[in-house]
Amino acid sequence: MKIIADNTIPYLQGIAETFAEISYISPEEFTHDRIKNADALIIRSIDKCTQQILEGTSIKLITTATIGFDHIDTAYCDKAGIAWANAPGCNADSVAQYVLASLITLSIRNNIDLKNKTLGIVGVGHVGKAVERVCKAYGMNILRNDPPREEQEGSAGFVSLKTIAEESDIITFHVPYTVSGIHATRHLANEAFFGEVKKKPWFINTCRGAVHDTTALLRARREGIVSELIIDCWENEPHIDLQLLDAASIATPHIAGFSADGKANGTRACLQTIGNFFRIPIEKIGEVVPPLPEEPVIDLDLFTSRRMEQAVLKTFCPETVDRMLRNAPHHFESLRNNYNHPREYKAYTLLNIKEEEIFLSDLLGFNR
């Protein structure tokens, strides 16, 4: 079997070689001629699998190590008999880690207590549920908006997008990117949405750039309709809007889901899909494990205040990545490709934890 894989997918080399002939290529090399003889592809969101690239190839299966799959022409694949699979939930905890760390960063910067603030979550799938879990544990009130889930499960526990806009102190988007249908998400955060906003909330986008309308978002920020912006996803990536970069409180190059753990989860999901599809054992899949963090032990006694918050920021500090993007916004894709993937909470052990800190520590997943 022949596999072609994006050479930036981590923890794959040395694993797939045990059952396939595998070639690693850069995103720029994903062309029809380069992939035409492959049986399977292992890709990420930058690798566009269009009809033009796929037509006339030997490809039977496309696996993407990402939650999103809008980079795959799924309609053509279904028509052409090419199976495809994404990795749902693979980076949910990573995005939740990013959101909580970013909120903590702004709360410290502005001397604001996040407890009892109302967080409106738009899209409560794998990622939205992970964000809900950590922010609820932190003491925030949660509003949930997810029309597709509400249709299936009933209205209990869900609110309208209008309610999110009117009642939230913080609004965070975790929806897939879709351009058609009754629940299309392109420009979901648009002029009409911001016209409903009441409480000058913080606005977060860590899903897809075009879920917000950049022009409308900038106007809302200029007019004080929203007060803080946490932007990880941008329209027209990698050519990001520099006005939005300047307006953002925290700006990062689409790396919210880029923890080492999330990357390993995505790679394992691709390998498992290949094994199931071609009915072959993947004997070394258990070796897809990220390395330990440089400092896996966090001593809480080193912090004089906000100890658990400082522990969260020890695992991931958004300000570090923010500075890198502001210093070199035209290197957006390079910053993504060369990002130093952080480990999630479960890779760290807390020392000298106090009784009142145990609940949050355990819920986030720290060791003690």
Q: What sign does the dihedral 339-256-93-141 (CA atoms) show? A: positive
- 295 DSSP 8-state letter: -
- Residue range 273-317, pLDDT digits in tens: 999 999 999 989 999 999 999 999 999 999 999 999 999 999 999
In terms of DSSP H, where are the helices of the chain?
32-35, 51-54, 74-80, 92-110, 126-137, 147-153, 161-167, 191-196, 214-222, 242-247, 260-278, 307-315, 318-327, 332-337, 358-364
Domains of the chain plus CATH, in order, are 2-86+260-287 (3.40.50.720), 92-251 (3.40.50.720), 297-364 (3.30.1370)
Dmax of the chain from CA atoms?
A: 63
Cβ-based burial of 65 (10 A; exposed 0-12, middle 13-18, buried ≥19): buried
**Mean pLDDT across the stretch 168-183?**
95
At residue 214 the predicted structure's pLDDT band, cuts being 50, 70 and 90, is: very high
pTM of model > 0.85: yes
**Chain centre to alpha carbon of residue 128:** 10
Are residues 216 and 229 in contact, defined by beta-carbon separation less than 8 angstroms? no
Are residues 39 and 2 in contact, defined by beta-carbon separation less than 8 angstroms? yes
Residues annotated as part of the active site: 208, 237, 254
With CA atoms as reference, report the closest residue to 139 among 118, 162, 164, 153: 118
At residue 357 the predicted structure's pLDDT band, cuts being 50, 70 and 90, is: very high
CA dist 335 and 324 (Å) reads 8
CA dist 135 and 124 (Å) reads 13
From residue 58, alpha-carbon distances to 1, 26, 61, 101 in Å are 11, 20, 9, 44
What pLDDT score was predicted for residue 128? Answer: 98
Q: Is the pLDDT of residue 93 over 90?
A: yes
CA dist 38 and 19 (Å) reads 14
- Count other C-beta atoms under 10 Å from residue 92's C-beta: 22
Q: What percent of the chain has pLDDT over 90?
A: 97
Q: Is the pLDDT of residue 163 over 90?
A: yes
Are residues 214 and 235 in contact, defined by beta-carbon separation less than 8 angstroms? yes
Adjacency order of strands within the sheet including 2-6: 21-25, 2-6, 40-43, 61-64, 83-85
- Residue range 192-210, pLDDT digits in tens: 999 999 999 999 999 999 9
Average confidence score pLDDT of the chain: 96
Tokens standing for 235?
Answer: 């329209």
Q: How many helices (H) and strands (E) would you count in the chain?
A: 15, 13
**Chain centre to alpha carbon of residue 117:** 23
Q: Is the pLDDT of residue 329 over 90?
A: yes
At residue 68 the predicted structure's pLDDT band, cuts being 50, 70 and 90, is: confident
- Residue range 14-40, pLDDT digits in tens: 999 999 999 999 999 999 999 999 999
**Chain centre to alpha carbon of residue 125:** 12
**Mean pLDDT across the stretch 154-171?**
98
Q: Is the pLDDT of residue 337 over 90?
A: no
